[in-house]
C-alpha cells in the first residue's frame, strides 16, 4: 500500500504536527520507503502465535488505593510554559 | 598518580578508599578534562558543582569510615535521565530549559551510592538515532580518527553518543546510557569501550524520558567489564514507581565476577552472518570465537531463524510506542510552546510539535501513528507483536542448547558524520545485530575486540538468558582478558 500526500496530511493531523506543503511532499516518499521495508513482515507465518505483550514474564502490581503524594502545586506548575492563578493556561477553548 | 583521569570506576573507588588521592582531586581532574574536551560536544550542560559536592561528601565519608559503593566516582549522566534541578532535554528542542522537579530512579540510585555528576550527556533526540546526528544540541564527535591522516569527523554512534565519546576520551570514568534497540552497545563498539544493557526490568524507567517503553532499558558504559558490573549494581533494583520493574534482589555482580568459563556453551547464530558486512567484522568475530575456545568454552552453531525480521519489527513497535509516548509534548505542562496568534488549542498543539521536534522524531511519530491507525493496526502493529514473539522464541530455543551467544555488535566500524543521514533505512541497519536482543528483553553486552585496518575499534556482543547478567559479564571478562584491548584515541581536542 502506498501513502499519498492526502494520507500524510491525515497522519500529521492525527499526530498533531503542523506540516508545510514542502514537508508533505518530502515525507510521502520517505514514509513509503520505510513502510515498504517493514512490509516484509507480511511474509512471516504467524498462525497460532499470540502477539507479545510482556517481554519478561511479570505481573502488574496493584497498590492500596490511597493518596501517597500531593500538595505540590508549585512543583507541578514549575515547568509550565504559561501558568496563571495556580492553573495551566491554554488558548481560549470556549467561544 | 600522574593523570587521574586515566582511571576507571574501580580504580577511583579503591584509590579514594585507600587514600591514594582524595575524591576532590579526582573530581577536579575530571572537571578540567570536561572543559578541555568541549570540542567533542559530549555534554549538553556541565555540572561541576554537583561533582564537587559529591566529592567533598565522599572525602568526609572516608574520614568518618562511612564510604559508599561509588564514593568519589564522578559520572556523566545521559540527558535522557531526569535530574532534579538540572536541565534535562533528551536532546530535543522540545525540552530545552526543562528542569525536572524530581530525580530519575537510576540517577538517584547512583547519587545515593555516592557518585557525583559531571554533566548531562548529549544524545540523539529522544534517543532516536544511531549516530548522534539528530540531537538539537549538535553532533557529538568521536575522539577516534581514521589512521589515514585525514581529520574526517566520525560518529561516536548513537543514541548514547555523548556517553560513548565522554568515556572514550576519558572525560568521565563511567556514564549512564540507555538502550532501546542498541543505543548502548553500538556506541560502545564504535568507541572501544564496554557497555551492558541488562534484562528488561532490571533498571527502573522512572524519570527516564520515554521512547519505546517495552524496550527502553538503562545501563552503564565504562572502560571495562568490572566497571560496568560495579555501576550496574548501583543502578539496578526494584522500583514501585515503574510498573515493569522486576521485583528481584540485585545480584552481587562484581563480587561474583569470574573469567573461568570452562564448560560454558557459547552459541554462534548462523543468521548473523549477513551479506554486505565488511570482512573485518567476520574476522574479529572469528578471533572472538577463538578466544572463547581458548577460555575453555564449547562453541556451538545455533539458528535464530527470524533474525532478518527483527529490524522491521523494531521499526513498527518502537515508532508505535513513541507516537503514544511523545503525545505528552503538548506545550501545556512543560517544554516549549508555540501559540499562533488567534489560534485555537489544536493550532497550538500542532505548531508546538512542529517547532519542538526534529525531522527524525517527526518521521517516527508519523510512522507510529500510521501503523496504529484504524485499518492498519492488525496488518502492522499486531503482526509485528507476533513476529516479536517468534524472535523471542528463537532465543529461548537457542538457550536450550547454549548458555550465551557471541555475535558482532555493529555491522561496521564508526562512519563519518553525514555519511548515512540521507537514507533512514541505511541508518536503521546499524542495529541489525543489537536489535533482536532488545526485542527479546535479554541482557547483552558490547566489549571491544580490536582495531580495523583504519585504526578504528570493533566490538563483539555477548547475549545471555534473561536475568543472567552474571553469565554475560563473566564471559565478557574472559573475552576482555584475551583481547587485551588497550588502544586509545590520540588526543586532538
Look at the alpha carbons of B297, B403, B205, B122 in this order and tell me if their dihedral is positive or negative.
Answer: positive
Cα B232 to Cα B285: distance, rounded to the nearest angstrom: 26
HEC per residue, chain A: CCCCHHHHHHHHHHCCCCCCHHHHHHHHHHHHHHHHHHHHHHHCCCCCCCCCCCCCCCCCCCCCCCCCCCCCHHHHHCCCCCEECCEECCCCCCC
CA dihedral (B79, B317, B200, B424) in degrees, to 10, reads: -50
For chain B, how many structural domains are there in total? 1
pLDDT per residue as tens digits for the range B52-83: 999 999 999 999 999 999 999 999 999 999 99
Residue B431: CB atoms within 10 Å: 25
Residues whose CB is less than 8 angstroms from the CB of residue B424 and which lie 6 or more positions away in sequence, other chains included: A30, A33, A34, B360, B363
Query: Among residues 9-38 of chain A, which lie with CB inside 8 Å of chain B?
Result: 11-12, 14-19, 27, 30-31, 33-35, 37-38
In a domain, B95, yes or no: yes
What distance lies between CA B300 and its chain's CA centroid? 28
- Asked if residue B218 is part of any domain, the answer here is yes
DSSP per-residue codes, B186-203: HHHHHHT-EEEE--TTSS
A1 pLDDT higher than 60: no
What range defines the domain where residue B235 resides? 4-262
B60 in a domain, yes or no?
yes
How high is the pLDDT of residue A92? 86
**Cβ-based contacts of A18 with chain B (< 8 Å):** 347, 350-351, 353-354
Average pLDDT over all residues of chain B: 97
List all residues 6 or more positions away from B377 whose beta carbon is below 8 Å from its beta carbon.
B371
B96 phi/psi in degrees, rounded to 5: -60, 130
Please give the residue range of the domain that contains residue A30: 5-40
Chain B positions in Cβ-Cβ contact with residue A9 (cut-off 8 Å): none
CB of B388 less than 8 A from some CB of A = yes
- Residue A75 inside a domain? The answer is no
Respond yes or no on whether the N-terminal peptide bond of residue B197 is cis (omega within 30° of 0): no
pLDDT for position B2:
64
Which CATH number characterizes residue B51's domain? Answer: 3.90.1300.10
Distance CA B220, CA B446 (A): 11
CA separation for the pair B435, B384 (Å, rounded): 14
B interface test, pick of A19, A56, A95 with most B CB neighbours within 10 Å: A56
Q: DSSP of B205-241, one letter per residue?
A: -TTBPPS-TTT-EEEEEESSHHHHHHHHHHH----TT
Residue A54 pLDDT greater than 90, yes or no: no
Of A11, A14, A34, which to mutate for an interface test with B (greatest number of B Cβ within 10 Å)? A34
Average of pLDDT values for B231-258? Answer: 97
Instruction: Determine, yes or no, domain membership for A22.
Output: yes
Taking only residues 389 to 418 of chain B, the set having a beta carbon closer than 8 angstroms to any beta carbon of chain A reads 389-390, 392
CATH of the domain at A27: 1.10.20
Q: Establish if B220 belongs to a structural domain.
A: yes
Q: What is the mean pLDDT of residues B355-363?
A: 97
Average pLDDT on B83-102 reads 98
Structure confidence at residue B300 (pLDDT): 98
* List of residues 6+ apart from B408 with CB closer than 8 A: B272, B277, B281, B284, B285, B433, B458, B459, B460, B461
Say whether pLDDT at B1 is over 50.
Answer: no
Q: How many domains does chain A have?
A: 1
Q: How far is CA B397 from CA B101, B309, B320, in A?
A: 45, 17, 28
Q: What is the pTM of this model?
A: 0.97
Q: If we measure between CA atoms, which residue out of B207, B153, B206, B208 comes closest to residue B183?
A: B208
**Cβ-defined contact of B387 to A8 (cutoff 8 Å):** no
Average pLDDT for residues B378-400, to the nearest whole number? Answer: 97
The burial class, CB within 10 Å (0-12 / 13-18 / 19+), for B36 is: middle
With respect to residue A85, please indicate whether it lies within any of the assigned structural domains: no
Q: Is residue A30 part of a domain?
A: yes
Cβ atoms of B1 and B20 closer than 8 Å: yes
Q: Using only C-alpha atoms, what is the Rg of chain B?
A: 21
Determine, for residues A37 and B344 on separate chains, whether the beta-carbon distance falls below 8 Å: no
What is the distance between the alpha carbons of residues B352 and B345, in angstroms, rounded to a whole number? 10
Per-residue pLDDT tens for B280-299? 999 999 999 999 999 999 99
Asked whether residue A62 is assigned to any structural domain, the reply reads: no
- Is the residue at A70 inside a domain? no
pLDDT-wise least confident of A64-78, B45-59, B321-335, B354-368: A64-78
- The minimal CB distance from A34 to the residues B315, B348, B392 is found for B315
Active centre residues of B (catalytic):
78, 159, 183
Answer positive or negative: Cα dihedral of B234, B235, B241, B245: negative
Is B363 close to A34, i.e. CB distance below 8 A?
Answer: yes
In chain B, % of residues over pLDDT 90: 97
For residue B405, what are the β-bridge partners?
A: B267, B463
Minimum distance, in Å, between the CA of residue A62 and any CA atom of chain B:
9
Indicate whether B216 pLDDT > 60. Answer: yes
Amino acid at each position: 500500500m502506498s501513502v499519498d500526500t492526502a494520507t500524510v496530511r491525515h497522519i500529521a493531523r492525527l499526530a498533531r504536527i503542523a506540516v508545510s506543503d514542502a514537508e508533505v511532499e518530502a515525507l510521502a516518499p520517505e514514509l513509503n520507503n520505510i513502510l515498504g521495508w517493514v512490509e516484509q513482515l507480511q511474509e512471516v507465518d504467524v498462525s497460532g502465535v499470540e502477539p507479545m505483550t510482556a517481554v519478561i514474564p511479570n505481573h502488574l502490581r496493584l497498590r492500596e488505593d490511597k493518596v501517597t503524594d500531593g500538595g505540590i502545586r508549585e512543583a507541578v506548575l514549575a515547568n509550565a510554559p504559561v501558568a496563571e492563578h495556580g492553573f495551566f493556561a491554554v488558548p481560549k477553548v470556549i467561544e | 598518580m600522574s593523570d587521574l583521569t586515566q582511571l576507571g570506576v574501580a580504580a577511583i573507588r579503591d584509590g579514594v578508599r585507600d587514600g591514594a588521592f582524595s575524591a576532590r582531586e579526582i573530581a577536579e581532574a575530571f572537571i578540567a578534562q570536561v572543559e578541555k574536551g568541549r570540542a567533542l560536544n559530549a555534554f549538553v550542560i556541565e555540572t561541576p558543582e554537583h561533582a564537587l559536592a559529591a566529592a567533598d561528601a565522599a572525602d568526609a565519608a572516608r574520614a568518618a569510615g562511612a564510604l559508599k559503593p561509588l564514593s568519589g566516582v564522578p559520572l556523566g549522566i545521559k540527558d535522557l535521565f531526569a535530574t532534579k534541578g538540572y536541565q534535562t532535554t533528551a536532546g530535543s528542542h522540545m525540552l530545552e530549559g526543562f528542569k525536572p522537579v524530581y530525580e530519575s530512579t537510576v540517577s538517584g540510585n547512583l547519587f545515593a551510592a555516592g557518585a557525583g555528576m559531571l554533566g548531562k550527556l548529549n544524545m540523539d533526540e529522544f534517543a532516536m538515532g544511531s549516530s548522534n546526528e539528530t540531537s538539537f544540541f549538535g553532533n557529538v564527535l568521536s575522539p577516534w580518527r581514521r589512521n589515514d591522516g585525514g581529520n574526517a569527523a566520525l560518529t561516536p554512534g548513537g543514541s548514547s553518543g555523548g556517553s560513548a565519546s565522554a568515556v572514550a576520551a576519558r572525560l568521565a570514568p563511567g556514564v549512564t546510557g540507555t538502550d532501546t534497540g542498541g543505543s548502548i552497545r553500538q556506541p560502545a563498539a564504535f568507541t572501544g569501550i564496554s557497555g551492558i544493557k541488562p534484562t528488561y526490568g532490571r533498571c527502573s524507567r522512572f524519570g527516564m524520558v520515554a521512547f519505546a517503553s517495552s524496550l527502553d532499558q538503562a545501563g552503564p558504559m565504562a572502560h571495562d567489564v568490572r566497571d560496568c558490573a560495579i555501576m550496574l549494581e548501583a543502578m539496578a533494583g526494584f522500583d514501585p514507581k515503574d510498573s515493569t520493574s522486576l521485583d528481584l534482589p540485585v545480584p552481587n555482580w562484581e563480587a561474583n565476577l569470574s573469567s573461568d568459563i570452562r564448560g560454558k556453551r557459547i552459541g554462534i547464530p548462523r543468521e548473523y552472518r549477513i551479506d554486505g558486512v565488511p570482512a573485518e567484522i567476520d574476522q574479529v568475530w572469528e578471533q572472538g570465537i577463538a578466544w572463547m575456545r581458548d577460555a575453555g568454552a564449547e562453541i556451538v552453531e545455533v539458528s535464530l531463524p527470524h533474525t532478518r525480521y527483527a529490524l522491521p519489527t523494531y521499526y513498527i513497535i518502537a515508532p508505535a510506542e513513541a507516537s503514544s509516548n511523545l503525545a505528552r509534548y503538548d506545550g501545556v505542562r512543560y517544554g516549549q510552546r508555540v501559540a499562533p496568534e488567534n489560534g485555537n488549542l489544536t493550532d497550538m498543539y500542532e505548531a508546538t510539535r512542529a517547532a519542538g521536534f526534529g525531522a527524525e522524531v517527526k518521521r517516527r511519530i508519523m510512522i507510529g501513528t500510521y501503523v496504529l491507525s484504524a485499518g492498519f493496526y492488525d496488518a502492522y502493529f499486531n503482526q509485528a507483536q507476533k513476529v516479536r514473539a517468534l524472535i523471542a522464541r528463537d532465543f529461548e530455543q537457542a538457550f536450550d542448547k547454549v548458555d550465551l551467544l557471541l555475535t558482532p555488535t555493529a555491522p561496521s566500524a564508526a562512519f563519518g558524520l553525514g555519511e548515512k543521514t540521507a537514507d533512514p533505512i541505511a541508518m536503521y541497519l546499524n542495529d541489525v545485530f543489537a536489535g533482536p536482543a532488545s526485542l527479546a528483553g535479554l541482557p547483552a553486552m558490547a566489549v571491544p575486540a580490536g582495531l580495523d585496518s583504519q585504526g578504528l575499534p570493533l566490538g563483539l556482543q555477548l547475549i545471555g538468558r534473561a536475568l543472567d547478567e552474571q553469565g554475560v559479564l563473566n564471559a565478557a571478562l574472559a573475552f576482555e582478558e584475551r583481547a587485551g584491548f588497550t588502544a586509545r584515541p590520540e588526543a586532538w581536542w
